[in-house]
Amino acid sequence: MVGAGMGVWKLMRGVRQLELHRLILALIIFCVLSMAFLAYYVSNSPKIKEAPPLPFSDCGGGGVMSLGASTAAAGVGSGVQRAPLYLPQRQGRLRQVKAVDFSRTEPVVLVFVESIYSQLGQEIVAILESSRFHYRTEIAPGKGDMPTLTEHNRGRYTLIIYENVLKYVNLDVWNRDLLDKYCTEYGVGVIGFFKANENSLLSAQLKGFPLFLHSHLGLRDYRINPNAPLLYITKPNQVEQGSLPGDDWTIFQSNHSTYEPVLLASTKSSEALAHVGPSPLRALHATVVQDLGLHDGIQRVLFGNNLNYWLHKLVFVDSIAYLTGKRLCLSLDRHILVDVDDIFVGKEGTRMKVSDVEALLNTQNKLRALVPNFTFNLGFSGKFYYTGTDEEDLGDDMLLQHRMDFWWFPHMWSHMQPHLFHNVSVLAEQMRLNKVFAQEHGIPTDMGYAVAPHHSGVYPVHSQLYEAWKSVWGIKVTSTEEYPHLRPARYRRGFIHNGIQVLPRQTCGLFTHTIFYNEYPGGSKELDKSIRGGELFLTVLLNPISIFMTHLSNYGNDRLGLYTFESLVKFVQCWTNLRLQTLPPLQLAEKYFQIFPEERDPLWQNPCHDKRHKDIWSKEKTCDRLPKFLVIGPQKTGTTALHSFLSLHPAVTSSFPSPSTFEEIQFFSGANYDNGIDWYMDFFPFPSNVSTDFTFEKSANYFDTEAAPKRAAALLPRAKVLALLINPSDRAYSWYQHQKAHQDPAALNNTFHAVVTAGPSGPRDLLALQRRCLLPGAYAPHLERWLQHYQPNQLHIIDGAVLRSNPSLVMEGIQRFLGVTPIFNYTQALMYDDSKGFWCQRVEGGRAKCLGKSKGRKYPEMSPESRAILAEHYREHNMDLLRLLNRLGHALPSWLRQELQSTSWS
């Protein structure tokens, strides 16, 4: 019995253990399923939305106050002696400053940098470039020659900037005297920066100036002196509360009346004042000072730090304007337009709801009180209407209900990128669908403005897009962030193509994925930093017209679009005198090209040298169609013969002939450039259709066309360039005979002697002929212009006289220069034709195939009188050519050696 009982007990215990194991297993499975369900629920449920951030409040933290009042408020009463910083403001002091005639200098800034890599130097240049000011950088000389400062009794620079002011004050006596005399005579000011480092003394006098520097200080509570004469954009009614970044600030002290503080701050602690001398803790110390020129006749602005702090950038812009008599200065007007892309586009959970649309309207009304005519500009793709949640679809309805409160512009119907459409009619049909949607829902269709999704097809130009835009929508204005490149943003420019004005578009740190304040990339402080003196603020400061790209998702969720622009507008109006306003796109474009007329003509870049451009360029296009080398002329030097000789080479292919200009395309030199690179590439075969690697084009007027080198280098930076030079006197005579054969009245009615001796009061057509005869023959400056954009090893100069007498020798040299293989035997391919008096192609049967009747025509010899006049005219030009060729290490052309010998030059 006992044994049986024990057996039953063991059996029961085993059953209980098995049940326990099952129970534990069931609990584990339950927990796993619960976690999976919870994860699914959390990931697919809308986030609990926090209250959107509030925009910056109205201006506060200190109203307008005089320096005396602010000092007293800081605890420095009338009974306390003020530190010897600056004399109080004196009435009439500015009348002592000598009036300056700024018209005697070129509007160019000379910037002395420590090195090409120095951060401050790059920041200085970035502001000059953003403002479109011309400048030249030089490594600051400790010793050595100062750059040439004058030319033809005019100053070459209107402002001098030193990245390190110590390099200025420590110049050797000769150069310092030279620079100071230049500044005094031409009224040129100086801006200098002092950034303390570990080797800087705590206190020192600036060499040669009644000014003391105290460094390595920590400062707080930045103020603007309302009495500073240089203030223009900067509004002096604010105090930037809190500590300034770093403990390496420098303050300036002086009792001389020439110095006026611009920016002032208090020290963080009394210990920091030990080497400054006795002064109250909250006394104001100048970190930026303006030298009125009462000491030595030169006006200056000195900074006790670099440009890292935003307020220094603002004052730096004002300093440039003041010291150049506002020659380098924008007006106070700033036009802003806020585009809201992707209306009706976006995945569920990121779109606008009714409350978001109400907030959009409310903010627009508030901004209109600050920015005249402010209106959000909404870009729509109708296909995605009603594709959100029920709440978001109601938001769509409310947008349409208030459609007349906004401006509107079209994207593509299905939000596709236009460069993917190769057929104009198909692309136009997509646009018509969007237009029908707009008409059915009462959206205005007459704004004349459109934006392509991802800026596709705008630049690089997709000609089909421009044609479809004009035919369907009557588009006159668009914008892009891609011209000439996305980055750096300060290089963005506008242009006009095919009757459509393209404006630069700016980013503002808001993209489709930046929808929550606390999840902003880098933290919300990065967005606030951009607004409060950072990138977004500087965009408005340095650009008279700014079109900002935002997205639908930036106005739902945390409504960062509303937060950003309401905060930006208030910050700009608190700290600057800028006059913000908004204009519709067509008026904005008109204003833009009034301000920047030089941007009307585009500069076509090579799309394959920018990955972003290549991604939004048609896959049917290839940069391999572009030529590998150019024959640039000049005209009447034998370029047509050279073209025919090159075309004989089995590894070389010429461009297709033009119906109007024959073997020349003349793309970089005239109106054909406006047709764009698609038009240009059509003159060259697809690589798959030819077996040669070397395509080229010849346009002889490229040589002396001012715009041609820059245009050619932008599109063909790696191309090689061939120039063909003959005696310029012979070239001039040949051009005259060419024009005479083409029935030019000026050539028919005047002898060549009359043409070259015509005075400035001669008939217009006669002077025009004279220019075309004489100007191309001044070879050196034209070659120098090409060398500004191409390296010397990309330029091959051909002796035209040798091409005429021994073409095989010349062609062998060209093949080596181009790197063409195999070497073609021109001795066998060419033969001399006695009747033509020139070398021609040898064809079957040993016959000569020569150029047409217009080539190599015979005409009377030039008169000795005319040749003597031309020899004298080109004397100095030929000397310039001699110096240039010697510098480049090129052999002298035979005709140039003869000219030098005949005039007994050494």
Phi-psi group of 38: left, alpha or beta (phi > 0 → left; psi -120 to 50 → alpha; rest → beta):
alpha
Nearest partner of 213 among 163, 149, 285, judged by Cα: 285
Q: Which of 628, 699, 633 is nearest to 661 (CA)?
A: 699
Please state, in angstroms and rounded to a whole number, the distance separating the CA atoms of residues 874 and 729: 8
Tell which residue, 369, 261, 307, 330, has the closest CA to residue 577.
Answer: 330
In angstroms, rounded to a whole number, what is the distance separating the alpha carbons of residues 118 and 788? 25
DSSP helix/strand/coil, 507: strand
Q: What are phi and psi of 339, to 5 degrees?
A: -85, 135
d(CA 251, CA 628): 58
Tokens of 89: 């403001």
Measured distance CA(143)–CA(121) in Å, rounded: 20
Alpha carbon distance 124, 463 (integer Å): 38
Q: Which two tokens stand for residue 749?
A: 């009615």
Task: Give the 3-state secondary structure of 47-94.
Answer: CCCCCCCCCCCCCCCCCCCCHHHHHHHCCCCCCCCCCCCCCCCCCCHH
Distance from C-alpha of 285 to C-alpha of 263, rounded to nearest angstrom: 8
CA separation (Å) from 486 to 154, 455, 478, 483, 612?
38, 11, 16, 7, 8
Is 577 within 8 Å of 233 (Cβ atoms)? Answer: yes
In terms of phi and psi (left: phi > 0; alpha: psi -120 to 50; beta: otherwise), the region of 309 is beta
Cα torsion 402, 408, 412, 415 to 10°: value is -60
DSSP H/E element including 652:
strand 652-654
In sign, the C-alpha dihedral spanning 526, 529, 531, 535 is negative
Alpha-carbon span 550 to 339, nearest angstrom:
6
Q: Collect all residues with Cβ–Cβ distance below 8 Å to 887 and sequence separation of at least 6.
A: none
Element (H, E) at 10: helix 2-44
CB burial of 1-25 (b: ≥16 within 10 Å; e: otherwise) equals: eeeeeeeeeeeeeeeeeeeeeeeee
Q: Which amino acid is at 594?
A: Q
- The DSSP bridge partners found for residue 832 are 839
C-alpha distances in angstroms, 344 versus 392, 397, 563? Answer: 9, 10, 21
Q: What is the C-alpha separation between 708 and 248, in angstroms, rounded?
A: 50
Catalytic residues: 636
Residue with tokens 């999976």: 36
Rounded CA separation 517/581 (Å): 27
Query: Which CB contacts under 8 angstroms, 24+ apart, belong to 778-782?
Result: 778/728, 778/874, 778/877, 778/880, 779/634, 779/725, 779/728, 779/877, 779/880, 779/881, 780/877, 780/880, 780/881, 780/883, 780/884, 781/880, 782/634, 782/703, 782/704
Q: How far apart are CA 832 and CA 492, in angstroms?
A: 55
Per the CB < 8 A criterion, the answer to whether 84 and 253 are in contact is: yes
